[in-house]
Amino acid sequence: MEARDDDSQAMTQPDAMTGSPSWQTRAALLALLPVVAFLVYWDGQHYDPGLLVFQSQAKEQMIPANLFPDRWGGLKRVGEIQRFDKENLYEYVNGHAEFFISSGFLSLALAEYGPEEAAKSGTPQATVELYHMGKPLHAFGTLMDETGAEAVPVEAGSMGFRSERDLRFIQGAYYIKISAFADSLPLERAVEALTQTLSPLQGEALLSFDFPLLGQTHSTRFIKENYRGLSFLGNILERTFNVGEKKIIAFLLLADPALIRQKDQALLTFFQQDQIPFSETEIAGLRLVRVEDPYEGDWFYLPVGERLLGLFGVSPEESMAHIKGFFQDGQTDHQAQ
């Protein structure tokens, strides 16, 4: 009887084991429905500022399609513009995406070009890649790292280099690469067309690749690595000046201030280890390092902000007026041309 009574009691209780709610539970759930509906409505009327900022930044990083010319050098744009961001860049530059991202990459847009029939065959003869690197200095650093030692300087954007099958240059915060998949394509014509479409970027902050006004410019060259045998010094612009019978050589490294400080310390460590006499001084408010180099002769350099400037063949006293004008007043050799 006791067992039967237990069974009877169990049958009259809400069936918790099967999950069937009692009428009280159903009533409570029905009462909550208006509350849930109100909360959904209220949430829809409010915004997440962080989400809006993210969407705004994504829109700003979107590369406009009108930056790509429709035609150049007898070729026309074919197919859709391909777009990549930090999340999917690896799909296009697999194995090299981390380099771009660590260099400041924001977005990439790519267009393909070919003859009229390429639109049907799907075989482009050239591509134009526009990399938004965030800052002009980041674009410059990418150009320096991506340019091979055999590249030849060309007139393109703020700075450009030509190889056998590609041409790379920078404009504002953009790093631009034009690649050819056929022989004898006039890549310079692509630069001319891009100069027109990229003209809205002229108002963006540009890096100055100028030097102090030291004399008449004789030549300029780019040294990818091992500048004057120093393994830690690369991506150097070197310009030779003629001053009467005298020759002055200046070299310039452009980089983030932290990297400039790192190269400065690397030079000082090298001088100490190789027992090369040097001294640090300050002239006209600028820190200067004099070097008595038994191999290169006396020279000096100045690490200032995003620049490391070095000079051979002239003393600080002879050139300081021009150097001060360069760093403090923006006087450059380009302005004098």
Residue 110: Cβ-neighbour burial (10 angstroms; 0-12, 13-18, 19+): buried
Cα 17 from Cα 32, distance rounded (Å): 24
Cα 238 from Cα 213, distance rounded (Å): 14
Among the listed residues 229, 222, 219, the one whose alpha carbon sits nearest the alpha carbon of residue 252:
222
- The pLDDT score that the predictor gives to residue 164 is 87
**Spatial contact of 169 and 162, defined as CB atoms under 8 Å apart:** no
pLDDT over threshold 60, residue 331: no
Residue 120 — pLDDT band, cuts 50, 70, 90? low
- The pLDDT score that the predictor gives to residue 22 is 60
Residue 24 — pLDDT band, cuts 50, 70, 90? low
Residue 9 — pLDDT band, cuts 50, 70, 90? very low
Element housing 5 (H / E): helix 2-12
Residue 280 — pLDDT band, cuts 50, 70, 90? very high
pLDDT over threshold 60, residue 156: yes
27 compared with 298, residue with greater pLDDT: 298
- The pLDDT score that the predictor gives to residue 235 is 84
As a whole number, mean pLDDT of residues 194-213 equals 72
Distance of CA 147 to the CA centre of its chain: 14
For 260: left if phi > 0, alpha if psi spans -120 to 50, otherwise beta; the answer is alpha
- The pLDDT score that the predictor gives to residue 31 is 59
pLDDT over threshold 60, residue 46: no
pLDDT over threshold 60, residue 203: no
Cα 334 from Cα 57, distance rounded (Å): 35
Residue 97 — pLDDT band, cuts 50, 70, 90? very high
What are 161's two structure tokens? Answer: 């280099």
- The pLDDT score that the predictor gives to residue 26 is 56
As a whole number, mean pLDDT of residues 163-169 equals 92
Domains, the chain, with CATH or none: 57-203 (3.40.1000), 216-328 (3.40.1000)
55 compared with 115, residue with greater pLDDT: 115
Q: How high is the mean pLDDT of the chain?
A: 81
Residues 6 or more apart whose Cβ sits within 8 Å of residue 261:
303
**Spatial contact of 181 and 125, defined as CB atoms under 8 Å apart:** yes
- The pLDDT score that the predictor gives to residue 15 is 45
CA 8 vs CA 1, 11, 17, 127, 237: distances in Å:
10, 5, 16, 82, 95
3-state helix, strand and coil shares in percent for the chain, rounded to the nearest 5: 35, 30, 35
Segment 73-85, tens digit of pLDDT? 889 999 899 999 9
pLDDT over threshold 70, residue 230: yes
- The pLDDT score that the predictor gives to residue 207 is 61
Residue 127 — pLDDT band, cuts 50, 70, 90? very high
- The pLDDT score that the predictor gives to residue 13 is 42
Segment 233-242, tens digit of pLDDT? 988 888 999 9
What are 70's two structure tokens? Answer: 């429709």
**Spatial contact of 169 and 157, defined as CB atoms under 8 Å apart:** yes
